[in-house]
């Protein structure tokens, strides 16, 4: 479980990018990525019109700074279009959402069909058209088990209204055992509605075999409303 959670944590924040291990020097130019989010409905994209992205996810290396919370080696950001009730310009209404990221337990392993693959969840809220990513409670709550105490790193804080976060904010020090700084990790991600925020938190994890931690997580129960990728163009046949 721990090994898988380490790997999925990297894939989560970086999507297709490369991240350095926690507490290691970030490699300059070690990877930047940006990927479109295609709005979905009933398992398909906006196929009644030329599909436009409903947002993007991007990532880049983020060196640590003295006097502030660790970064985990990389930061990531979401840009989500606002819902304006125009089918040609898909977007997302105010509400609770969760980013569902699936990744292999190894940097070069398969995702589909791999029983050791895992899904790592990151929750977010859209209010007034602005998005806030919520951090892992273990690494954002002072006086908790993992930050803010004697001998512990500083706690991270949510960037309210900015829809951005660091790997440390969502995954803490889970990268500390990654094989080598600069290792590449691949993940695919989906944007879901978060039906029950009280039982779905950043850091919840489900293995490909169907085992989740905690077992009570509801992060996977929401409808898929966006998928990272490229929309097929019309008249492709």
- The answer as to whether 29 is a domain residue is yes
| Domain-located, residue 233 | no
With vertex at residue 53, the alpha carbon angle to CA 51 and CA 55, rounded to the nearest 5 degrees, is 160
CB contact at 8 A, 181 and 188: no
Counting residues of the chain whose pLDDT is more than 90, the rounded percentage is 38
Q: What would the pLDDT profile of 107-150 be if each residue is shown by its tens digit?
A: 777 777 777 788 899 999 999 999 999 999 999 988 777 898 88
Q: Is residue 134 part of a domain?
A: yes
State pLDDT tens for residues 38-60.
898 777 776 666 668 899 998 88
Return the top range by mean pLDDT from 49-58, 92-101, 182-191. Answer: 92-101
* Domain hosting residue 172, numbered range: 2-228
226: three-class secondary structure by DSSP: strand
Is 137 part of any domain? yes
In a domain, 210, yes or no: yes
Which stretches does DSSP call E strand in the chain?
A: 33-39, 55-62, 73-80, 95-103, 118-127, 130-133, 164-166, 187-193, 205-207, 212-213, 224-228
Report the first-to-last Cα separation within the chain, whole angstroms.
44
- Does the residue 234 lie in any domain? no
Please report whether residue 236 resides in a domain. Answer: no
**Residue recorded with tokens 């970030």:** 26
Q: What is the pLDDT of residue 33?
A: 79
Q: Confirm if 16 and 229 have CB atoms less than 8 A apart.
A: no
Considering the entire predicted model, what is its pTM?
0.82
Rounded CA gap, 205 and 184, in Å?
A: 21
Domain count, the chain: 1
């Amino acid at each position: 479980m721990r090994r898988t959670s380490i790997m999925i944590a990297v894939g989560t924040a970086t999507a297709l990018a490369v991240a350095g291990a926690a507490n290691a020097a970030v490699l300059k130019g070690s990877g930047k990525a940006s990927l479109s989010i295609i709005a979905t409905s009933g398992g398909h994209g906006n196929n009644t019109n030329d599909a436009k992205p409903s947002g993007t996810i991007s990532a880049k290396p983020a060196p640590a700074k003295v006097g502030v919370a660790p970064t985990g080696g990389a930061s990531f950001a979401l840009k989500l279009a606002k819902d304006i009730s125009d089918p040609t310009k898909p977007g997302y209404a105010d509400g609770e959402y969760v980013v569902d990221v699936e990744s292999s337990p190894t940097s070069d392993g398969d995702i589909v069909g791999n029983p050791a693959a895992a899904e790592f969840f990151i929750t977010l809220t859209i209010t007034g058209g602005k998005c806030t990513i919520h951090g892992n409670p273990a690494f954002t709550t002072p006086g908790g088990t993992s930050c803010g105490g004697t001998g512990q790193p500083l706690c991270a804080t949510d960037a309210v209204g900015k829809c951005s976060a660091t790997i440390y904010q969502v995954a803490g020090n889970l990268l500390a055992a990654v094989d080598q700084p600069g290792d590449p990790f691949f993940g695919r991600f989906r944007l879901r509605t978060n039906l029950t925020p009280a039982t779905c938190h950043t850091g919840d994890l489900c293995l490909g075999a169907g085992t989740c931690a905690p077992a009570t997580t509801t992060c996977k129960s929401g409808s898929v409303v966006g998928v990272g990728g490229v929309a097929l163009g019309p008249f492709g046949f």
